[in-house]
Amino acid sequence: MIKNQSGLELNISGNKIQADRPKPIITNIDVVPYKHSMDPQTAIDALIDGYHVLIVDFYSSGLTVLSELKKYIKNTYSDQSFQGQRDFRSAFHKLSHQLLLKISNSKLSVKKAPEIGWFKILYLELNEFLLPFPQVQGLNSSWQWYEKGIFIPVLKRKIHPWFGTYFPTRFEHLELFDKWLKRYTGEKKSAIDIGSGSGVLSFQMLKHSFEKVYGIDSNPNAIIGLNEDLNKNNLNSKINLIYGDLFANCNLKTELIVFNPPWLPASHNIDGLDKAIYYDQYLFPRFFAEAKKHLNANGKMVILFSNLAQITKASNAHPIEEELSAGGQFQKELFIQKEVRPASKKTKRNQNWRASEMVELWVLKIADNN
């Protein structure tokens, strides 16, 4: 049972969960003020020297500094390979997060700035604080997505993802899952959606007549946002939300487990939304060990994945193939692939590898010798 407490809290099964938010800077720190009449290189030199730079006049002044900073770093990180782009983003992330904006009374303190509703929801108790400029940009983009909604073709409706919650921007894997659901002939009493995020897979299963779905996620914002969606659409009786890692130590057994894990191995410490994109070396072994306990004898497990790590040289290993090769727990019942559409022409990143990328749907069952 979930009960709304505020924009920041939910009480779920007797446990209070708190929303994640970009950490506000509320202590006094030394800053270098910057305004549009100054040379952007002044700000860049200060960032490189380890100082924080505060934008004090127009929102656009910060955009100018970030644009010039990006050009500066590209001169050092010119490698266009997948790893080269990772290194560039890491360097840009470090320096850009030293560029700050002040928020007062739930509004940005600079002129011609966007209105961002998350300030009232996530920082209601703070009258004044600082945030890195890229985090403000993230809050702004998230607010636009939340307000306007994201249309999901397989659902034929919009979702309104809460801040800090993963939502799909590509749909080939969802199309594969929808195609499989149309042909699924097993029981539909219940299903478990691991890492439910914005709830798209859960909603797909409801669309295909599953009676009850258990959506589990370790991201509190995903639980808060999905709970809001369920309330708006009167679906609380159909989807039961559980907060926790993987199966969250629940005692459920079901005929279908669905998992859309991250598609890339982590090369750095991961937190926040990175957990929806990168997986650590323990994720899949833990998942398979736990999944066996929660699957009925004749149940199915559907995993949506991709060959992205292999074609970008991020890893030669494929965690699902490794599990099947090890043997003993699960066996493959079905494997389907689908080509991905070309990257948008608006995309600035080099994504030539998408010509070789395939999304994958794996259907596994408990091995016959178990």
pLDDT tens digits along 25-74: 998 899 999 999 999 999 999 999 999 999 999 999 999 999 999 888 88
Residues 78-95 have pLDDT tens digits of 655 656 566 667 778 888
What is the pLDDT at residue 281?
A: 83
> In 10 A of CB 112, how many CB atoms?
10
* Residue 318 pLDDT exceeds 70: yes
d(CA 251, CA 58): 54
Torsion of the alpha carbons at 317, 323, 327 and 332, rounded to the nearest 10: -110
Q: Could you say which DSSP state residue 48 is in?
A: H
Q: Is 304 helix (H, G, I), strand (E, B) or coil?
A: strand
Residues 157-206 have pLDDT tens digits of 999 999 999 898 889 999 999 999 999 999 999 999 999 999 999 999 99
Residues 214-260 have pLDDT tens digits of 999 999 999 999 999 999 989 989 999 999 999 988 889 999 999 99
Tell me the domain boundaries of the chain.
Answer: 2-146, 150-366
* Residue 4 pLDDT exceeds 50: no
Please work out, in degrees rounded to the nearest 5, the angle formed at the alpha carbon of residue 206 by the alpha carbons of 205 and 208. 65
How would you classify the pairing of strands 52-55 and 31-34? parallel
d(CA 133, CA 326): 47
Residue that has been written with the tokens 């305004």 in this structure? 35
d(CA 121, CA 8): 7
Length of the chain: 370
d(CA 119, CA 108): 9
What is the pLDDT at residue 326?
A: 83
* Structural element, H or E, at residue 10: strand 9-12
Which tokens belong to 308? 């992205």
Nearest to 7 by CA among 265, 253, 224, 215: 224
Which tokens belong to 320? 């699902």
What is the pLDDT at residue 160?
A: 94
Q: Is 190 left (phi over 0), alpha (psi -120 to 50) or beta?
A: beta
d(CA 123, CA 129): 9
Residues 88-147 have pLDDT tens digits of 677 788 889 999 999 999 999 999 999 999 999 999 889 999 999 999 999 999 999 999
The H-assigned helical ranges of 112-251 are 118-122, 133-148, 172-183, 200-207, 220-232
Residues 294-310 have pLDDT tens digits of 999 889 999 998 887 77
Side-chain-side CA neighbours of 12 within 13 Å: the count stands at: 23
Phi, psi angles (nearest 5°) of residue 144: -65, -45
Residue bearing the bigger pLDDT, 328 or 43: 43
Please tell me the CATH superfamily of domain 150-366, with its number: Vaccinia Virus protein VP39 (3.40.50.150)
* Structural element, H or E, at residue 290: helix 283-294
* Residue 13 pLDDT exceeds 70: no
In order of 90, 91, 162, 200, 356, the CA distances from 95 in angstroms are: 9, 7, 27, 35, 33
Phi, psi angles (nearest 5°) of residue 314: -70, -30
What is the pLDDT at residue 27?
A: 86
The whole-chain average pLDDT of the chain stands at 86
pTM: 0.83
Determine the average pLDDT of the residues in 302-326: 82
